[in-house]
């Protein structure tokens, strides 16, 4: 299979046309008149063109969305049970493209993601985000303690409810029916997207998901496990977090050429036979520049899939090439404890025991978590045939250098879907495509100047789409829209890397990422930094 280089595919998709609406309904009374009795309007605000909007009190997302088109900003509060409620924000642009989009959240944070909303509203979408039912930063789960309703709101209820009401309010505001609905999110936002596909297939026509934390119970306990593997800090096997860069450099040194091109980018880590012993400390060597034998064993354990003592498989582990970001999966140096993503999760979300001592962690906690699936957060219903039946399109990506959610978690999810759909005789290619992005870290940034930016999702600051490359080849959200609305399925997406990840500076590199299990391969001529020098080649003989 060969997909022709992008230069030949010059056809660009212009941003969908937006129409100006005369809108005098940007007031609380109007929205209240549309809402059911269990919801009420907290705020409306007319934002002028090039204005900004946000809430300093939104501790998860305090950054204002800026350079906005003229729009009506709204905050709505919804009662979700006798003891819980959630809010959601809407941006309703004066020039509307007839479409609706919801953006996702990150970590366990609770807050309206105004910032991400601001990056997609300039396309013309009526845009929403929910606070997921609580108010906290990403690693704080105090709000969940003994609070099953709040767990359910974070788990899935707040997003789905916000989507239903958001659509209703949008249609009423414009006195018109929206034509298409979309979703974009990464990490927890990716999990939210997968849950929508699995649980509420009618919500979206197109879903753009990055690095989904889809298997919450195992993802969070993996985070705990890897932290414990490295601890305690005073042991001989402990790898200080600032040494992971050394390992990253060695992985790139050994693996870069495995794809035939020496450019600092490992196109397929599976092609590399990495040997960590090259970092073994020599007699007299400064130990902050090398690894001792127990540290090398720790490195090996951190890259082996996690299993319990009976060899029951639990979760994939760090991918080769993710070392530069691995340290963010551990706790803070000096605390001698694993990441709060693991400890807070068990104490407040699974066991409801704020005094839980992580040093007692054992396999039974995994079993308890799975049996409870607290908040219904796991996205583990792999029968997504209802989403297929309603004509939904799913575009899923994951960075190959992700140090927070192992790339293997997405490969596992893809395979679970594949097994399930194959049993039902439903081929995936027409409606679900998966893209692995070489060198990309967790939802943003990359190792070795690898191009990673693909627009649409919550990625670069203050940017809508892919500046200078506003077409479906370079912008995953435009690719998804073209797929949903015109039936053109994307074989590849061209990712971009700017100097300092700043779109006002020079483009350093662009390269296609190919639909799984394909791989971009150098044509043999032209600059390796130009996308047209690469073609998609299936990695299956
Ligand atoms: C938009 O606002 C910023 C300040 O927030 C200002 O620097 C810029 O000139 C404005 N642009 C336009 C087109 O008005
Ligand atoms: C953010 O937007 C709000 C209005 O939504 C405004 O009151 C506030 O001044 C803005 N903050 C900054 C730092 O621009
Ligand atoms: C969130 O909680 C903080 C206190 O931790 C408070 O200052 C802030 O107003 C709250 N934000 C919202 C949107 O309720
Ligand atoms: C939302 O409504 C609930 C009642 O269901 C109330 O307890 C809560 O204070 C309201 N939230 C805000 C931010 O007004
Ligand atoms: C709010 O009330 C409507 C009916 O008025 C109901 O369909 C919906 O489920 C309720 N929403 C929540 C979050 O309780
Ligand atoms: C590490 O610290 C613990 C107490 O925090 C102590 O019991 C143990 O002996 C120390 N181990 C080493 C190898 O220093
Ligand atoms: C060991 O290397 C580290 C990092 O390069 C340096 O900061 C430290 O001073 C060195 N220690 C010795 C004893 O040379
Ligand atoms: C394993 O964890 C469970 C749940 O916290 C705890 O009740 C049990 O005592 C632990 N077992 C051991 C041997 O520590
Ligand atoms: C498909 O998914 C459903 C729902 O999760 C499950 O019951 C079934 O066992 C799965 N089938 C396969 C072949 O994985
Ligand atoms: C976004 O742009 C605003 C001004 O337009 C600026 O104040 C802010 O720092 C920018 N944010 C980031 C993260 O670049
Ligand atoms: C490609 O980009 C890299 C990294 O920015 C740079 O070092 C190299 O000189 C570029 N090569 C070409 C052929 O442009």
DSSP string, 409-461: HHHHHHHHHHHHHHHTT--STTTEEEEEETTB-SSS-BSTT---B-SSSS-ST
Residue 354, preceding peptide bond in cis (omega within 30° of 0):
no
- Nearest-atom number in ligand 1 for the CA of 66 is 5
**Residue among 33, 35, 36 to mutate when testing ligand 5 (max atoms within 8 A of CB):** 36
Atom 14 of ligand 8, residue of closest alpha carbon: 360
Please tell me if the CB atom of residue 365 comes closer than 6 angstroms to any atom of ligand 8.
yes
Residue 232, preceding peptide bond in cis (omega within 30° of 0):
yes
Tracing tokens 């930016």 back to the chain, one arrives at 453
Q: For position 308, what pLDDT does the model report? A: 85
Please tell me if the CB atom of residue 506 comes closer than 6 angstroms to any atom of ligand 11.
no
Pairing, β 313-315 against β 306-307: antiparallel
Distance 164 CA to ligand 5 centre (A): 10
Cα→Cα distances 330→141, 242, 267, 342, 354, Å: 17, 11, 26, 9, 20
**Residue among 243, 282, 286 to mutate when testing ligand 7 (max atoms within 8 A of CB):** 286
Please tell me if the CB atom of residue 57 comes closer than 6 angstroms to any atom of ligand 3.
yes
Task: Establish whether 187 is a catalytic residue.
Answer: yes
**40 CB contacts (<8 Å, ≥6 apart)?**
32, 76, 77
Largest CA distance in the chain: 77
The ligand that comes nearest to the alpha carbon of residue 527 is 11
Which tokens hold the place of 289? 């520049």
**Residue among 61, 462, 464 to mutate when testing ligand 10 (max atoms within 8 A of CB):** 462
Could you give the 3-state DSSP secondary structure of residue 2? Answer: strand
What whole-number distance in Å separates Cα of residue 230 and Cα of residue 336? 10
Would you tell me how many other CB atoms lie within 10 Å of the CB of residue 444? 19
Please tell me if the CB atom of residue 180 comes closer than 6 angstroms to any atom of ligand 9.
no
What whole-number distance in Å separates Cα of residue 533 and Cα of residue 334? 47
Q: Which helix (H) or strand (E) holds 343?
A: helix 340-344
**166 CB contacts (<8 Å, ≥6 apart)?**
88, 90, 100, 102, 126, 128
Distance 287 CA to ligand 7 centre (A): 8
What whole-number distance in Å separates Cα of residue 16 and Cα of residue 209? 21
Find the catalytic residue in 136, 162, 187, 339. 187
Please tell me if the CB atom of residue 37 comes closer than 6 angstroms to any atom of ligand 6.
no
Which residues is 437 bridged to in the sheet?
399
Instruction: State the pTM of this model.
Output: 0.94
What whole-number distance in Å separates Cα of residue 111 and Cα of residue 181? 22
Atom 6 of ligand 3, residue of closest alpha carbon: 57
Termini Cα distance of the chain: 10
Would you tell me how many other CB atoms lie within 10 Å of the CB of residue 460? 20
The DSSP secondary structure of 264-301, one letter per residue, reads: S--S-GGG----GGGGBPPTT--TTSSB-HHHHHHHHH
What whole-number distance in Å separates Cα of residue 497 and Cα of residue 503? 9
Cα→Cα distances 225→199, 231, 239, 304, 306, Å: 29, 10, 15, 12, 8
Q: For position 540, what pLDDT does the model report? A: 77
Distance 337 CA to ligand 3 centre (A): 28
Which residues is 93 bridged to in the sheet?
71
- Nearest-atom number in ligand 3 for the CA of 55 is 13
Residues having CB closer than 6 A to ligand 7 are 286, 288-289
Distance 452 CA to ligand 6 centre (A): 43
Cβ burial, residue 51 (10 Å; 0-12/13-18/19+): middle
- Nearest-atom number in ligand 9 for the CA of 416 is 14
Closest CA to 190 of 414, 354, 472, 8: 414
Atom 13 of ligand 9, residue of closest alpha carbon: 420
Task: Establish whether 236 is a catalytic residue.
Answer: no
Please, are residues 157 and 133 in contact by the beta-carbon 8 Å criterion?
A: yes
Distance 357 CA to ligand 8 centre (A): 10
Could you give the 3-state DSSP secondary structure of residue 109? Answer: coil
Cα→Cα distances 452→365, 470, 476, 490, 493, Å: 36, 16, 11, 17, 10
Distance 38 CA to ligand 5 centre (A): 6
Please, are residues 402 and 364 in contact by the beta-carbon 8 Å criterion?
A: no
Digitized pLDDT (tens) for each residue of the chain, 541 residues in all = 334 333 333 333 445 677 777 678 999 999 999 999 999 999 999 999 999 999 999 999 999 999 999 999 999 999 999 999 999 999 999 999 999 999 999 999 999 999 999 999 999 999 999 999 999 999 999 999 999 999 999 999 999 999 999 999 999 999 999 999 999 999 999 999 999 999 999 999 999 999 999 999 999 999 999 999 999 999 999 999 999 999 999 999 999 999 999 999 999 999 999 999 999 999 999 999 999 999 999 999 999 999 987 878 899 999 999 999 999 999 998 999 999 999 999 999 999 999 999 999 999 999 999 999 999 999 999 999 999 999 999 999 999 999 999 999 999 999 999 999 999 999 999 999 999 999 999 999 999 999 999 998 666 767 889 999 999 999 999 999 999 999 999 999 999 999 999 999 999 999 999 999 999 999 999 999 999 999 998 877 7
Find the catalytic residue in 216, 442, 446, 475. 442
Which tokens hold the place of 400? 């190959």
Please tell me if the CB atom of residue 234 comes closer than 6 angstroms to any atom of ligand 6.
yes
Q: For position 10, what pLDDT does the model report? A: 30
Cβ burial, residue 531 (10 Å; 0-12/13-18/19+): buried
Distance 241 CA to ligand 6 centre (A): 19
The ligand that comes nearest to the alpha carbon of residue 242 is 7
Which tokens hold the place of 395? 């575009």
Distance 166 CA to ligand 5 centre (A): 13
Atom 10 of ligand 4, residue of closest alpha carbon: 77
Closest CA to 448 of 266, 255, 279, 269: 266
Distance 386 CA to ligand 9 centre (A): 13
């Amino acid at each position: 299979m060969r997909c022709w280089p992008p230069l030949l595919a010059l056809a660009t998709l212009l941003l969908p046309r937006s129409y100006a609406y005369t809108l005098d309904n940007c007031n609380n009374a109007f929205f209240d008149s549309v809402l059911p009795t269990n919801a009420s309007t907290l705020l409306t605000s007319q934002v002028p063109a090039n204005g900004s909007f946000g809430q300093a009190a939104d501790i998860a997302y305090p950054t204002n969305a800026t350079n906005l088109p003229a729009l009506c900003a709204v905050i709505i509060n919804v009662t979700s049970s006798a003891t819980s409620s959630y809010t959601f924000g809407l941006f309703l642009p004066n020039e509307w493209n007839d479409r609706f989009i919801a953006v996702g959240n990150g970590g366990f944070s609770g807050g309206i993601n105004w910032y991400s909303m601001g990056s997609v509203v300039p396309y013309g979408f009526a845009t929403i985000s929910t606070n997921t039912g609580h108010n906290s930063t990403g690693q704080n789960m105090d709000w969940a303690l003994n609070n099953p309703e709040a767990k359910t709101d974070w788990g899935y209820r707040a997003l789905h409810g916000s989507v239903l009401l958001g659509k209703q309010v949008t249609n009423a505001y414009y006195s018109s029916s929206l034509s298409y609905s979309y979703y974009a999110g990464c990490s927890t936002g990716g999990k939210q997207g997968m849950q929508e596909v699995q649980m509420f297939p009618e919500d979206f026509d197109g879903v753009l998901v990055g690095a989904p934390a889809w298997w919450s119970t195992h993802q969070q306990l993996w985070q705990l496990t890897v932290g414990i593997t490295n601890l305690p800090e005073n042991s001989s096997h402990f790898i200080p977090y600032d040494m992971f860069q050394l390992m990253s450099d060695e992985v790139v040194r050994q693996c870069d050429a495995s794809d035939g091109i020496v450019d600092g980018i490992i196109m397929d880590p599976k092609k590399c036979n990495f040997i960590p012993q090259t970092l073994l400390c020599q007699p007299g060597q400064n130990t902050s520049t090398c690894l001792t034998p127990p540290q090398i064993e720790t490195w090996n354990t951190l890259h082996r899939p996690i299993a319990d003592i009976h060899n029951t498989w639990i979760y994939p582990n760090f991918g080769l090439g993710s070392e530069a970001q691995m340290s963010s999966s551990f706790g803070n140096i000096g605390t001698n404890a694993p990441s709060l993503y693991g400890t807070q999760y068990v104490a407040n979300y699974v066991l409801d025991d704020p005094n839980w001592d992580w040093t007692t962690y054992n396999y039974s906690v995994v079993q308890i978590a799975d049996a409870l699936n607290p908040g219904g957060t796991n996205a583990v219903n792999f029968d997504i045939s209802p989403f297929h039946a309603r004509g939904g399109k799913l575009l899923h990506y994951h960075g190959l250098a992700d140090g927070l959610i192992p790339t293997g978690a997405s490969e596992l999810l893809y395979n679970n879907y594949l097994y399930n759909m194959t049993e039902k005789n439903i081929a995936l290619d027409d409606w679900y495509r998966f893209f692995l992005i070489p060198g990309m870290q967790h939802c943003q940034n990359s190792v070795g100047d690898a191009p990673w930016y693909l627009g649409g999702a919550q990625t670069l600051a203050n940017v809508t789409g892919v500046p200078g490359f506003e077409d479906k080849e370079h912008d995953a959200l435009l690719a998804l829209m073209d797929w949903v609305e015109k039936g053109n399925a994307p074989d590849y997406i061209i990712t971009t890397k700017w100097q300092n990840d700043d779109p006002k500076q020079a483009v350093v590199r662009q390269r296609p990422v190919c639909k799984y299990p394909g791989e971009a391969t150098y044509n043999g001529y032209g600059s390796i930094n130009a996308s047209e020098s690469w073609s998609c080649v299936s990695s299956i003989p």
